[in-house]
Chain A
């Protein structure tokens, strides 16, 4: 123990003989000035989801449309446009129902089906575009299969990852874009 005391005293005395109190103030001033500049440094906010999942519950807050003609929660698998989504919802990654989240690219090759809008009871043609990029999928899983066909008919199967024609083939999430109102072909 006495050995440690002697060693500490030697180091502190040596330090005191080599430095002044002014140098301490200089060091502290430099640290304060540097800390003020830290928030100005560039931050890759685009890589972070704007609406991340709640880390405790694993759920996301709802995202109601606010439009009675397009009713529902766009972060819920029950939202009418998602009737044939098989994957993750882009609204849970900082994207929208029509656009990919930051860091993901929309595939030009799509799966297209129809869903019934509960507000006007009409069927709408919906394009399910996969968003592809480095962000891993898994948030807001949604497994709806209206009009889905087995993968032996790949052009009609929503099990297939449609990341074709994009730089990345890694699936992130799916958007649901309205292409138009469907005509009722059962009447012909």
Chain B
């Protein structure tokens, strides 16, 4: 009885995988093989190697241009994944590492959108763009 209650509680507490992730196991594997090596297993990253995702990444969806920025950063745009797999990893990654900041009306990335975004990759300017977007976010959240 107690075990059943624990299972029910765990089921109720587990967040749902967002739309745009057809196969969470495949998304995890694509993340592990293509992203985790630099962003680390918990998405913590660091300023010297790969930027932190944990608790941060979905906030870019809250500022104009942030959604496009995520699809154009070097690690995403130059990934060997197909457009469809890349869109799935993006949607999975946003949920896995920053579900708390996912906007309620979040529209998942699609293969078509990723195809267009990765055609214009950011290079050395990616860091500066990140700083600008985070500054905008900071200003908009300051009362």
* Residues of chain A whose beta carbon lies under 8 Å from any beta carbon of chain B: 108-114, 125, 127, 153, 155-156, 162, 164-165, 179-180, 182-183, 185, 188
Contacts and interface: CB of A to CB of B under 8 A. Distances in A.
B85 to A, nearest CB: 9
Contact of A110 (B25, B34, B37, B78): B37
Residue from B33, B50, B78, B80 with most neighbouring chain A CB atoms (10 Å): B33
Nearest to A165: B49
A112 B35 CA distance: 9
A165 B46 contact: yes
B33 A155 contact: no
Given A112-B36, A155-B38, A182 B29 contact: yes
A156 B80 contact: yes
Contact of B75 (A155, A162, A180): A155
A111 B37 contact: yes
Interface of B: 23, 25-26, 29, 32-34, 36-38, 40, 46, 48-50, 75, 78, 80
Given A156-B80, A183-B25, A183-B26, A113 B33 contact: yes
Given A125-B33, A153-B78, 6 more contacts: A112-B32, A112-B33, A155-B34, A164-B49, A182-B29, A183-B25
Nearest to A156: B80
A188 B38 CA distance: 27
A165 B48 contact: yes
**Top 9 A-B pairs, shortest CB-CB distance:** A110-B37, A112-B37, A164-B49, A109-B49, A112-B33, A108-B40, A165-B49, A125-B32, A111-B37
Residue from B32, B40, B46, B50 with most neighbouring chain A CB atoms (10 Å): B32
Contacts of A113: 33
Nearest to A114: B33
A20 to B, nearest CB: 70
